């Protein structure tokens, strides 16, 4: 495959085999998450060559749209945090809802790189990154407002929602009623949208704290009363309320694959906030996905638990500053 990419020689048969193995790999992932992410990136590169090299093949176009989501599903854990090497979406991609997801999550790679390199003593740099984060948040909200009408009816609350995934814990006593969506496509985009906001709001809070620390009027910020911090909790809860639908009987293969990384991200939020019941719900949900046959859920669950224990043993003054260090 590497040789064909270098020679720019798209091959349909090899592409189909590669994508099939990519889909099967989450079922058995003995080496953890990083190899799977590296393979997903390689598959995306090869698929892009085929997509642009064979533009009149509707089957490849359909595969391409779905695969792009997997390439950006876990922006904070991807080894390519600089955003380099990503295939830019075409205008056709941007006109589809899934193209917007690609753009939203690809932008996180560059933002995360800036955050990790940020000089916390540089007020101007902190202020500039804060403004970039707010701008990205506003663009994300505007994108979803534009695509929402195409997703059908808004999700409805369903008390005592009975997912056919028997091992999935109920959301009612922890987050509130689960959501029912008009389709898996709607559920997937809602969950990715909520995940984007659950990622960006803690970043905004963290950089805001750093920027304000450089001013003479700085006082402590109450995380339980700060609007940006509270919105990160709100959208984390929304994600969890959308998970049961993703694991319904007819949709569980696609749904489970797209639910794993949002669950790992919200586990981070609850770990930092020390919300044991919500964190343990996520652990239970990842266990349920494991029982559906997705071995990749195991290292994700173990990594989340390791992060929980790490923070429990740490003396953290501002827990949000640990969000992107794990």
Helix 97-116 vs helix 123-147: angle between axes, to the nearest 10 degrees?
Answer: 170
- pLDDT score at 25: 62
How far apart CA 208 and CA 286 sit, in angstroms, is 32
Highest mean pLDDT among 158-172, 174-188, 255-269: 174-188
Q: Note the pLDDT of residue 145.
A: 92
Residues 6+ apart with CB under 8 A from 199: 75, 76, 108, 265
> What's the rounded mean pLDDT across residues 305-309?
91
* Confidence check: pLDDT of 151 > 80: yes
**C-alpha to C-alpha distance for 120 and 300, rounded to whole angstroms:** 30
pLDDT band at 23 (very low <50, low <70, confident <90, very high): low
Give the three-state DSSP class for 158.
Answer: strand
Mean pLDDT of 221-232: 80
Q: Which residues contact 7 (CB under 8 A, 6 or more apart)?
A: none
Q: Would you kindly state where each structural domain of the chain is located, as residue ranges? A: 1-71, 72-81+92-151+164-322
Tokens describing residue 150? 């195409």
Q: What is the mean pLDDT of the chain?
A: 76
Question: CB neighbours of 121 closer than 8 A, spacing ≥ 6?
Answer: 214
Q: Residue 79 — pLDDT band, cuts 50, 70, 90?
A: very low
109's tokens? 């790679």
Q: How confident is the model at residue 285 (pLDDT cuts 50, 70, 90)?
A: very high
pLDDT at 72 over 90: no
Nearest-CA neighbor of 269 among 207, 209, 320, 196?
320
Residue 63 has pLDDT above 50, yes or no: yes
- Our measurement of the distance from residue 115's CA atom to the centroid of its chain's CA atoms, rounded to an integer in Å, reads 18
pTM: 0.75
What backbone torsions phi and psi does residue 158 show, to the nearest 5 degrees? -130, 105
| pLDDT > 70 in the chain, percent | 60
Phi, psi of 180, deg, nearest 5: -110, 130
What would the mean pLDDT of 67-78 be, rounded to a whole number? Answer: 50
Query: Residues 35-62: what's their mean pLDDT?
Result: 65
Average pLDDT of the segment spanning 170-181: 93
Calpha distance 233→224 (Å, rounded):
10
**Per-residue model confidence (pLDDT) at position 88:** 46
Q: What is the pLDDT of residue 65?
A: 59
Residue 294 near residue 227, CB atoms below 8 Å:
no
In order of 27, 69, 222, the CA distances from 98 in angstroms are: 24, 7, 37
Residues 85-119 pLDDT 10s: 444 444 444 455 566 777 787 787 788 888 888 88
Segment of 34-43, 65-74, 316-325 carrying the highest mean pLDDT: 34-43
pLDDT tens figures, 232-278: 999 999 999 999 998 876 555 667 877 888 998 899 889 888 899 99
Question: Using DSSP, how many helices (H) and how many strands (E) does the chain show?
Answer: 12, 2
Q: What's the rounded Cα separation, in Å, for the pair 242 and 259?
A: 9
Residue 123, pLDDT above cutoff 80: yes
Q: How much is the average pLDDT of 287-295? A: 85
């Amino acid at each position: 495959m590497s040789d064909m990419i270098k020679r720019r020689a798209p091959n349909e048969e090899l592409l189909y085999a590669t994508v099939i193995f990519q889909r099967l790999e989450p079922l058995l992932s003995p080496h953890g998450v990083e190899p799977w992410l590296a393979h997903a990136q390689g598959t995306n590169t090869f698929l892009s060559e085929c997509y642009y090299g064979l533009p009149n093949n509707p089957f490849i176009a359909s595969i391409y749209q779905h695969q792009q989501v997997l390439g950006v599903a876990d922006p904070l854990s991807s080894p390519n945090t600089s955003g380099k090497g990503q295939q830019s979406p075409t205008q056709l991609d941007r006109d589809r809802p899934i193209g917007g997801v690609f753009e939203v999550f690809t932008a996180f790679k560059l933002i995360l790189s800036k955050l990790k390199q940020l000089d916390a003593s540089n007020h101007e740099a902190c202020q500039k990154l804060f403004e970039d984060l707010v701008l990205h948040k506003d663009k994300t909200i505007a994108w979803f407002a534009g695509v929402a009408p195409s997703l059908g009816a808004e999700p409805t609350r369903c008390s005592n929602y009975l997912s056919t995934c028997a091992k999935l814990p109920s959301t009612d006593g922890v987050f509130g009623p689960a959501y029912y969506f008009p389709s898996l496509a709607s559920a997937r985009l809602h969950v990715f949208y909520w995940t984007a906001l659950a990622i960006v709001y803690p970043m905004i809070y963290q950089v805001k704290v750093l920027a304000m620390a450089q001013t003479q009027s700085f006082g402590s910020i109450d995380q339980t009363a700060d609007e940006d911090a509270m919105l990160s909790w709100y959208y984390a809860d929304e994600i969890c309320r959308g998970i049961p639908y993703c694991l319904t009987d007819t949709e569980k293969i696609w749904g489970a694959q797209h639910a794993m990384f949002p669950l790992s991200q919200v586990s981070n939020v609850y770990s930092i906030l020390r919300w044991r019941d919500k964190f343990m719900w996520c652990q239970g949900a990842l266990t349920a996905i494991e029982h559906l046959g997705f071995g990749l859920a195991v290292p994700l669950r173990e990594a989340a638990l390791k992060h929980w224990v790490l923070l429990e043993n740490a003396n953290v003054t501002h827990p949000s500053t640990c969000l992107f260090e794990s």
